Structure 1
Amino acid sequence: MRTILYFTSALIVMALAYWAYSENYRTQDSLTEVERLQREIGQMREELAVLRAEWAYLNRPDRLRDLVGMNFDRLGLLPLTAEQFARVDQISFPGEGSIDLSKSIDVIGEIAQ
């Protein structure tokens, strides 16, 4: 009876050792993957910072003003002035009751001509 108990105990110890060994390698693999992902995140953050700096550099107002000047004949862009904006009293708003919002309107398949 003791032999069976010793043999069973030895098998249980070996099974637990194998389980601990495999868990150790799975943990090491997971830690390696986490480190790789953290390095990748750091590299992407650096790339994002560089891209933001390039965007800020390319969108400088003086550079854009020069580009507009060079391409005026094709684009026809003019600088905004206060005279180009309308006053509130010049805007035509819809009259009272012109739109009935109490009913639903089915607009699928209808084309206004």
Structure 2
Amino acid sequence: MRSLLFLLAAAAVIASGYWAYHENYRTKAELDHVDDLRRDIGAARERLAILRAEWAYLNRPDRLRDLAELNFDRLGLLPLTPNHFAKVDQVAFPQLQILDLTQPIDVTSAGATNP
């Protein structure tokens, strides 16, 4: 009986050692995967910063004005000037429909039957 307990204890130690060994390598693999993801995120952020800089460069007002003048005959774009904007009080907003509540409706349960 005693030898059976020793064998079971030894098997438990070996099984837990194998489990710990396996978990250790799985953890290292996941940490490597996290490092790869962080590297990919850093590269994506760098590309995004470059794209934002290019977008800002391509959307310069003087460049857009020149493009609008060059392509006026094809596109019909006019350069944007400050007099194209209006004040808020000059904008014609749609009128709100006001409900007519002068004729009230009586709601009653006088004719209802009680269950």
So what's the TM-score if we normalise by structure 2? Answer: 0.72
1:11 is matched with 11
Q: How many matched pairs? A: 99
Q: Which residue of 1 aligns with 2:29?
A: 29
Structure 1 residue ranges, 4+ long, deviating more than 6 angstroms after superposition: none
Rg: which structure is higher? 2
Question: CA separation in 2, counterparts of 1:37 and 1:92?
Answer: 50
Structure 1: which 5+ residue stretches go unaligned?
A: 103-113
Name structure 2 gaps, 5 residues minimum. Answer: 101-115
The two structures have a TM-score, normalised by structure 1, of 0.73
Call closer, same or farther: CA 1:46–1:14 in 2, change over 3 Å.
Answer: same
* CA distance, structure 1, for counterparts of residue 91 and residue 44 of structure 2: 50
Give 1:1-113 correspondences, 5 Å limit: 1-85=1-85, 88=89, 91=92, 93-94=94-95, 99-100=97-98
Other structure's SS at 2:79 match: coil
> Once the 2 structures are TM-superposed, how far is the Cα of residue 100 of structure 1 from its aligned partner?
4.6
Alpha-carbon spacing, 1:89–1:33, altered in 2? closer, same or farther (3 Å): closer
Partners of 1:90 and 1:4 in 2: how far apart? Answer: 92
SS in 2 for 1:28: helix
Q: Report the RMSD for the aligned CA atoms in angstroms.
A: 2.4
Higher relative contact order (CA 8 A, sep 6+): 2
